[in-house]
Amino acid sequence: MPSARRAARRFQWLGSILIVAKRGHQRLTCEMSNVRRFSSSIHRSLLALIAVVAIVSSVVPSASGAPGSMGSNVSSSAIASPEVTAQSVFSFDMATGITLYEKNPDERMQIGSTVKVVTALVVMEHGNPSDQVLIDESDTVDITVFSNMQLQAGDTLTVGTLLYGLLIPSGNDGANALARHVGLDLCGCDNPEDARDAFYQAMNDYAAELGLENSRFTNASGVDADSTYSTARDIAILFRELMRNERLAGIVAEPAYQFTSAGPENRTYQESTTNDLLGQLGVIGGKTGTTPEAGACVVLARQVNGGSNTVITAVLGADVEYQDSVIVDGSDERWNDARAIFGAMDDQFAWVTPGAEGTFPGLAEEMAVWQVEFNDPPTIPYPSTDATTAYQLVLHGRGGTSDEDGAVRLYYDQEQVGSVPIYSTAAQSPGLANVAGR
């Protein structure tokens, strides 16, 4: 292992760190402070401080949000969204948090039945799929007006089967039953409306725990209400959480269901999905929502890169026309909007490993110098357009609660689009991290 003095001379030898832009291979530098000679004991302390370094340049913009790979929020996109009718769009890579497209991603708006994404997450957090639920009259809805799973008062279903009715045909009655059942345990009460209010509070608590500040929920079904709103960014992040749940991801991947109720009525329930793109263009799951105020909405999970990556895309407020509470045939533009986004995605992005030849020149060499590496190098969406790309290599101090030793922040056209964590290679070879971590 090199001595502290040798490591200090190594800092002097490096001199500066390069942040490299894609076009023209322009090299942007930021100077590091000279490492002066001190006594051996001071050397070790100084090196420990140097290990907590962010490699920055005034030419590269500072980070504007929590990196997607390290938290619930995701950053901005510099690549223009294709032209769509939707008021709001947000699309990001599920694994790294890198943003592909956005259009008014933080505009608060009605989101229709995509609210049921949060409903399902709260049910899984506080409920038990094997619980039996006796359907109450207050759970049922007017099936000529609202999407439903045709629940009958007096029937008995499990929480697990109600989740199918919630997410596949988008049953408002399923949402009411689940909110009441889980809410009764949350509030310790016996009043259905008090129980549902407790459930709505749990929905807001769930969003708050993810750091989502632009969402508020006052019902579990997504019916229009001035006090209920969310954003494309928030619902996309929430759908990422749904796709991380094996049971829920399995449900939204199903094109239809058929089951028999658990009570003595032994009633058969069967419905098909409202997701018109399921099984097409790589779509493996989604949740729809449509109301007169919300317009046509959908959030989709799409596999790309041969199935190695999943992109979450939220489309809110797309054009749609209603007549007598029924969608006019041919007026629902959310599916065309989604197709346009997917087509642009395939044309404008390649999926590469950070530091691969021709992507971020100099990154692999710098990581070798600093003795850090990607853990199972991810593939990321890399613009195949004329967008300028750049990176920041950020190193953290050792001894924290995180296993990560830093991150590579990625920029497209001066906008931070995400980051990828990096880890020390000190266990494999001696180097700076070992000295600084003493």
Q: Which residues are catalytic?
A: 113, 116, 170
Query: Are the C-beta atoms of residues 61 and 414 closer than 8 Å to each other?
Result: yes
Query: Are the C-beta atoms of residues 437 and 48 closer than 8 Å to each other?
Result: yes
**Bridge partners, 40 (sequence order):** none
- Beta strand 16-20 with 27-31 is antiparallel
Q: What is the DSSP annotation of 52-93?
A: S-B---TTSPPP-S--GGGSS------SPPPP-S-SEEEEEE
Contacts of 10 (CB under 8 A, 6+ apart): 2, 432
Farthest-apart Cα atoms in the chain, separation = 84
Q: Is 192 helix (H, G, I), strand (E, B) or coil?
A: helix
> Which residue, among 211, 234, 203, 275, has the nearest Cα to 111 in the 3D structure?
234
Count Cβ atoms below 10 Å from residue 62 Cβ, excluding itself.
10
Angle between helices 172-187 and 159-167 (to 10 degrees): 140
Query: Are the C-beta atoms of residues 239 and 299 closer than 8 Å to each other?
Result: yes
Count Cβ atoms below 10 Å from residue 249 Cβ, excluding itself.
16
Query: Are the C-beta atoms of residues 267 and 258 closer than 8 Å to each other?
Result: no
What is the rounded distance in angstroms from the CA atom of residue 434 to the CA atom of residue 204? Answer: 44
**Which pair of tokens denotes residue 89?**
């769009």
What is the rounded distance in angstroms from the CA atom of residue 356 to the CA atom of residue 354? Answer: 6
- Beta strand 372-373 with 27-31 is unpaired
Angle between helices 172-187 and 116-126 (to 10 degrees): 40
> Which residue, among 21, 69, 105, has the nearest Cα to 309 in the 3D structure?
69
- DSSP conformational letter for 230: B
Ramachandran category for residue 204: left, alpha or beta (phi over 0 → left; psi -120 to 50 → alpha): alpha
- The enclosing H or E element of 145 equals none
